[in-house]
Amino acid sequence: MKKLMYTVLTLCVISMSCKEKKIERELDMNNPFFSKPETPYGVPAFDQIKTEHYLPAFEEAMLQQKEEIEAIVNNKEKPTFENTIEALDYSGELLNTVALVFFNMCETNNSDEMIAIADTISPKLAAHSDDISLNPKLFERVKTVYEQKDKSLNPEQQRLLEETYKNFVRGGANIPVEKQARFREINEELSKLTLKFGNNVLAATNAYKMVIEDEKDLAGLPESLKAAAAETANQSDDTKGKWVFTIHNPSLLPFLQFADNRAKREEIWRAYSNRCIGGEFDNTAIISKIVKLRAERAQILGFKTHADFVLDERMAKTPTAVYDLLQKVWNPALAKAKEELEEYQQLANKEKPKFDIKPWDWRYYTEKVRKAKYELNDEVIRPYFKLENVRDGIFMICKELYGLTFKENADIPTYDPEAVAYEVIDNGNVIGILYMDYFTRSSKRSGAWMTEFRGQHKTKDNENVIPIISLVLNFSRPTADMPCLLNFDETETFFHEFGHGLHGLLSNCKYRSLAGTNVTRDFVELPSQIMENWARHPEVLKLYAKHYISGESIPDELIKKIEAAGNYGQGFINTELIAASFLDMDYHVLENPTISDPIAFENEALAKYGLIPEIISRYRSPYFQHIFTSSTGYSAGYYSYTWSAVLDADAFEVFKQNGLFDKATATSFRKNILEKGNTEDPALLYKAFRKQEPSIEPLLRNRGLLPEEK
């Protein structure tokens, strides 16, 4: 054990016995990581943390966990669940805190300084992790406890034991000694490569700006988008009085939807789709190395491919199961996409001069046909989806389902001035802290995600530690004349991420490593995707979709149009999604990957499945961050969105049968899914809620992909 002794010089001397040697070191107590934060609910002291604090905190945190591990290894008592498995799970608390703050800040407030720190610390963290996973004495203790088959352990303890043992094996504990050096080299190299990949994508995305000087080139664009582009332009002296569009989604996607100028659509689409292919931020060589190293590591661990390694602990289990599911959605989706293409081409044939539909035309003609068929477009929808109204609608749904309320607290420090902090209250008790960070900025990576600064868990004394959850979004900023108005895709994204947030906030587990969203990738999207169902349901729309000026609820006529258009464009949506999933799998089922040209590999892979040239994969390889920006991440796992979609569509059938806000159904979902984390096998958790195996039919029906509904 270590003891902390504070001196009047604000220094801390740490003394401990380790292998009969006394080690002393001094810590600068001006570093906020080295003392308990004096903040509401113990949230990180963001207002005190500076970039120079991270490296010393990381170094000290790794030393502390190393000493904790040595204490476990050198324990003279026989290995037990408490002195080995539980002690291991409680180790590294400081490291967990520092890493969560640092890497979350890298995602939302990145800078050259942060990148430099990440470059320095990432390989050290990889080595530190390997030191634990490859510690033979530690594994021997873990294995001893595992083989004891102690029947006195409760189900959560048994799950922790099984997961701990499995993680050691997957972390290399059983590999031959002569291969361990190479295993370490691979992990270190992957940590550097995946970090570089993500930094390149962020830099390439921020580097591009399309400057428009002639207002005629803005034809077709909604006034809100033009106003946002003008505000962006006015931020720089060299573009004042002009319009600037970027390849961040809030700027890119509506431009592709509405811009009449086909040449400009092509220009911005090519900038988007060719990111990180050649040039300063090239990722192609990095991809080749990552795929090769992953395959080599998997084989050292005894698996045929990286996909086999990843899927061994997922619900899908095998690549064959993944491909089978994807194909079931791909075939009807591709057929529907071809029908959509034919319809769009008929319109293009009426243009003068006529032309063949290209990828940069797809969203434009989708919008044209949707407007003609359903008298519906984003500019009709947006006024009813003011950001604050959508947020309040989500809060209302959470209260109806789970009894939760959300109270803004300006006294809670935030990691960025734009982030807003809320107390999450259940039955009068604060059960979590929720940050929401809405708007795009150059220091924030693209996309939307849920993360945490502290996961829910219970201390050794069984005191509950509440979670600190953050939802990070990339919506367009409000302008001087217009609030932030969301389109329907953005609205569903907000609901989606909030579902992840509930998974973290409502966790009720003992052990940090099993709590909240620490579940398999193909299960983690269930709580998020099921929330989207409430976003679009007519009964719920009437409750939260209100005109931002008049305050009137969305009219029934518009709801009917949204319903009628609900399956419109599903060919494109599902085709680009499944194409990305196929591409991910094809990279990672290779036994001996020697990919000299990832772009050629991508083209050949997608041509094999019959992807039409008018549609590209949702993410092209050089900016496919889900699968290339961490050691594992969503690699061989992008299919998870579709796998979980089967679960969410099937699970929502229960709410449709019993009532959207049926308390018993909501309580069952909370108790069996949201609170349980990874304390049981996810297939068993799902059956405990659903009382039967999931069916794919609700998913295909909801997306209009059943044969009889073509």
Q: Considering 497, 532, 602, 675, which one is annotated as catalytic?
A: 497
Q: Residue 632 — very low, low, confident or very high, per pLDDT cuts 50/70/90?
A: low
Residue 77 annotated in active site: no
Q: Residue 11 — very low, low, confident or very high, per pLDDT cuts 50/70/90?
A: very low
Residues 679, 514 contacting (CB under 8 angstroms): yes
- Render 512-558 in DSSP notation, one character per residue: GGGSTT-S-HHHHHHHHHHHHHHHH-HHHHHHH-B-TTT-PBPPHHH
Residues 257, 378 contacting (CB under 8 angstroms): yes
Q: Which residue has the tokens 């009437």?
A: 542
Q: Residue 294 — very low, low, confident or very high, per pLDDT cuts 50/70/90?
A: very high
Q: What is the mean pLDDT of residues 235-255?
A: 95
Q: Which residue has the higher pLDDT, 24 or 177?
A: 177
Q: What is the model's pLDDT at position 24?
A: 58
Mapping DSSP onto H, E and C, the string for 611-638 reads CCCCCCCCCCHHHCHHHHCCCCCCCCCC
Residues 60, 27 contacting (CB under 8 angstroms): yes
Contacts of 278 (CB under 8 A, 6+ apart): 284
For the chain, the average pLDDT equals 93
Residue 551 confidence (pLDDT) above 90 = yes
Residue 3 confidence (pLDDT) above 50 = no
Residue 708 confidence (pLDDT) above 70 = no
Structural domain 284-376+571-638, CATH architecture: Orthogonal Bundle (1.10)
Q: Residue 566 — very low, low, confident or very high, per pLDDT cuts 50/70/90?
A: confident
Burial of 334 (0-12, 13-18, 19+ CB in 10 A): buried
Q: Residue 710 — very low, low, confident or very high, per pLDDT cuts 50/70/90?
A: very low
**CATH fold of 383-564+641-709:** Neurolysin; domain 3 (1.10.1370)
Q: Encoding tokens for residue 320?
A: 């064959």
Q: Within 10 A of 419 (CB to CB), how many other CB atoms are there?
A: 20
Residues 224, 485 contacting (CB under 8 angstroms): yes
Q: Dump pLDDT digits (tens) for 296-342.
A: 999 999 999 999 999 999 999 999 999 999 999 999 999 999 999 99
Name the maximum alpha-carbon separation found in the chain. 86
Q: Which amino acid is at 213?
A: E
Q: Encoding tokens for residue 704?
A: 């209009």
Q: What is the model's pLDDT at position 706?
A: 82
Domain ranges of the chain: 36-133+135-170, 208-273, 284-376+571-638, 383-564+641-709
DSSP letter for 413, please: -
Q: Within 10 A of 351 (CB to CB), how many other CB atoms are there?
A: 10
Q: Residue 582 — very low, low, confident or very high, per pLDDT cuts 50/70/90?
A: very high
Mapping DSSP onto H, E and C, the string for 182-236 reads HHHHHHHHHHHHHHHHHHHHHHHHHHCCEEECCHHHHCCCCHHHHHHHHHHHCCC
* Closest among 401, 394, 646, 638 to 532, alpha carbons compared: 394
Q: What is the model's pLDDT at position 195?
A: 94
Residue 144 confidence (pLDDT) above 90 = yes
Q: Dump pLDDT digits (tens) for 15-46.
A: 233 333 435 567 888 999 999 999 999 999 99
Q: What is the model's pLDDT at position 455?
A: 98
Residue 6 confidence (pLDDT) above 90 = no
Residue 709 confidence (pLDDT) above 80 = no
Q: Which residue has the tokens 């349980």?
A: 676
Residues 472, 451 contacting (CB under 8 angstroms): yes
Q: What is the model's pLDDT at position 25?
A: 67
* HSE, side-chain direction, 13 A CA sphere, residue 585: 24
Residues 401, 31 contacting (CB under 8 angstroms): no
Angle at 687 between CA 660 and CA 329, to 5 degrees: 75
Q: Which amino acid is at 442?
A: S
Angle at 152 between CA 149 and CA 157, to 5 degrees: 80
* Closest among 311, 291, 303, 304 to 587, alpha carbons compared: 291
Q: Is 383-564+641-709 in the same CATH topology as 284-376+571-638?
A: yes
DSSP letter for 33, please: G
The dotted CATH code for 36-133+135-170 is 1.20.1050.40
Alpha carbon distance, N-terminus to C-terminus of the chain: 66
Q: Which residue has the tokens 């803005």?
A: 218
Q: Dump pLDDT digits (tens) for 60-89.
A: 999 999 999 999 999 999 999 999 999 999
What separation in angstroms does the CA of 246 have from each of 199, 228, 230? Answer: 18, 11, 12
Handedness of CA 226, 229, 233, 234 (dihedral sign): positive
Main-chain phi, psi angles of 517, to 5 degrees: -85, 10
Q: Dump pLDDT digits (tens) for 490-518.
A: 999 999 999 999 999 999 999 999 999 99
Q: What is the mean pLDDT of residues 612-619?
A: 97
Q: Encoding tokens for residue 391?
A: 């947020």
Q: Dump pLDDT digits (tens) for 382-421.
A: 999 999 999 999 999 999 999 999 999 999 999 999 999 9
Q: What is the mean pLDDT of residues 220-234?
A: 94
Q: What is the model's pLDDT at position 29?
A: 83
Q: Which helix (H) or strand (E) holds 88?
A: helix 87-90
Q: What is the model's pLDDT at position 631?
A: 61
Q: What is the model's pLDDT at position 28?
A: 81
Residue 5 confidence (pLDDT) above 70 = no
Residue 278 confidence (pLDDT) above 90 = yes
Pairing mode, if any, of strands 468-475 and 429-439? parallel
Burial of 551 (0-12, 13-18, 19+ CB in 10 A): exposed
Q: What is the model's pLDDT at position 14?
A: 28
Residue 13 confidence (pLDDT) above 50 = no
Main-chain phi, psi angles of 278, to 5 degrees: 75, 175
